Structure 1
């Protein structure tokens, strides 16, 4: 067995193990998104939240299968399995490039949908609404207030008529009661969170997008290496078969 073939076999097995590790990570991320969605389903559109999570889990399942096929194909040098492995990797690589391109192309649409969802949630905010619990959760945990700032609550459709220009308690800095009408201190960071929730969410989105892009590039490189290794083993299996046939008939004379 040549050094190139041995390197390709070992490389393919290592790639298979990497795929299993990545699968565990993808399942964790997908499950976390589904679990977190219950806090924001009235604020963000479902198709912008659950579709990416579904894709993540689907890719995780596919990568788990590819990891198994990679290890078996590398061990047995089976042409059929190597061809299947190459096809799977090509599909995943295409999906990575396509999803990355679509994510970049529609990033503004997602941003606009989040802003629109926040605006609708603030206008629908009242004590018995699901938007109340979700907005309170968002403002309390992200330490933000309103869409762009606390003054958004002054014109909130359901909140403003009865709140006397105050803000919800979730806008108050921890330990401070800023909901009293006489404390209309919208620009005082000692009492009210100054940053809007839209800006916070956009920052988190762009921050995480950088990590996702880096991981996607890393996976794409691994895919390319795996495809190269599978091609080398596929071609090597042909050479071995031809050498065996040549040795079998070398003693025949015409």
Structure 2
């Protein structure tokens, strides 16, 4: 049954679904280009983080939310609308819990971040997307490694052991280098053998600060902007939850004014609610022939003491 409840901002729900599908398509395309779709075991072989996971997970969640919200609103499906609000509420509380835990256990989070970055340093050459992500982070935050350049000793291509035949031995990636604004061509060999020098000599050529410390400094310098973005995302989620719940309430309120009549529905107006006997006559076609016969023998209306009449009246009152 369609109750024709006005839908507020369906364009936003449709946009959410389209963006989610786009993110998911980009992630699947990237995996296809790397041959992951033909070799699923490659997902677990990589020691570090595959950035494509971000597109797939975010795109998948946005697609599911967009579909449930859009179809639920357009078709007035209360189940999909409740699923949308519950799923969105779960995401909101997970984000809130993560923020609280990150604030309370700052030292533990810092240690885990160091461990996470070092694991990705080990897998630097194993995945091109991971390599590009690390290079971007080191260039953007002017850092090198988790705690410093020596973290690159964890990578088999950059470690300083005598058994390492790599030309990059005792070096760092070019993204650790201090860029010369006058250079038009990027020198990808600027980090070769740099860790053989003293730290004081390294400072003019590469960034010697770790990415964890630089990231913390960036958060402090941009705290208002970051907080504003997070609050904005939270408000959008709360708005979506309230909108879905409000729509569910509207649908239920409109459905409460409709009653079944045979194979269709009849709208109850004020006159029906004021005259319960008139409400009972609407049900005559669906009560059954036995009940109709019993009600019609009284002449003036249904017998209030009739068992069938009491059952039907009770169902209306509930």
- What TM-score, normalized by structure 1, do the two folds share? 0.63
More helix by share: 1
CA deviation vs aligned residue, 1:161-180 (integer Å, no higher than 9, x gap):
25785434442234452424
Relative to structure 1, is the Cα distance of residues 186 and 215 closer, same or farther in structure 2, using a 3 angstrom cutoff? farther
Relative to structure 1, is the Cα distance of residues 117 and 225 closer, same or farther in structure 2, using a 3 angstrom cutoff? closer
Note if 1:42 corresponds to 2:47: yes
In 2: Cα distance, 1:186 partner to 1:19 partner: 55
Q: Which structure is larger by alpha-carbon Rg, 1 or 2?
A: 2
In 2: Cα distance, 1:160 partner to 1:66 partner: 55
Note if 1:229 corresponds to 2:234: no
Relative to structure 1, is the Cα distance of residues 141 and 50 closer, same or farther in structure 2, using a 3 angstrom cutoff? closer
Structure 2: stretches of 5+ with no match in the other structure: 35-45, 163-167, 180-185, 259-266, 282-299, 302-318
CA deviation vs aligned residue, 1:182-231 (integer Å, no higher than 9, x gap):
75456765421344233466658x98786455324312213202321331
Paired residue total:
226
Q: Would you say the 8 A contact 2:171–2:192 is kept in 1? A: yes
Relative to structure 1, is the Cα distance of residues 13 and 161 closer, same or farther in structure 2, using a 3 angstrom cutoff? same
Look up the SS of the partner of 1:161 in the other structure. Answer: coil
Relative to structure 1, is the Cα distance of residues 57 and 136 closer, same or farther in structure 2, using a 3 angstrom cutoff? closer
**Which of 140, 143, 146 lines up with 2:135 in the alignment?**
140
Relative to structure 1, is the Cα distance of residues 196 and 139 closer, same or farther in structure 2, using a 3 angstrom cutoff? farther
Tell me whether 206-215 or 189-198 shows the greater mean CA deviation: 206-215
Relative to structure 1, is the Cα distance of residues 179 and 95 closer, same or farther in structure 2, using a 3 angstrom cutoff? same
**Which of 11, 27, 43 lines up with 1:17 in the alignment?**
11
Q: Which has the higher contact order (CA 8 A, sep 6+)?
A: 1
Note if 1:60 corresponds to 2:86: no
In 2: Cα distance, 1:249 partner to 1:167 partner: 87
Tell me whether 133-142 or 212-221 shows the greater mean CA deviation: 133-142
Counterparts of 1:116-127 in structure 2, within 5 Å, are: 116-122=115-121, 124=122
Note if 1:197 corresponds to 2:211: yes
Aligned to 1:76: none
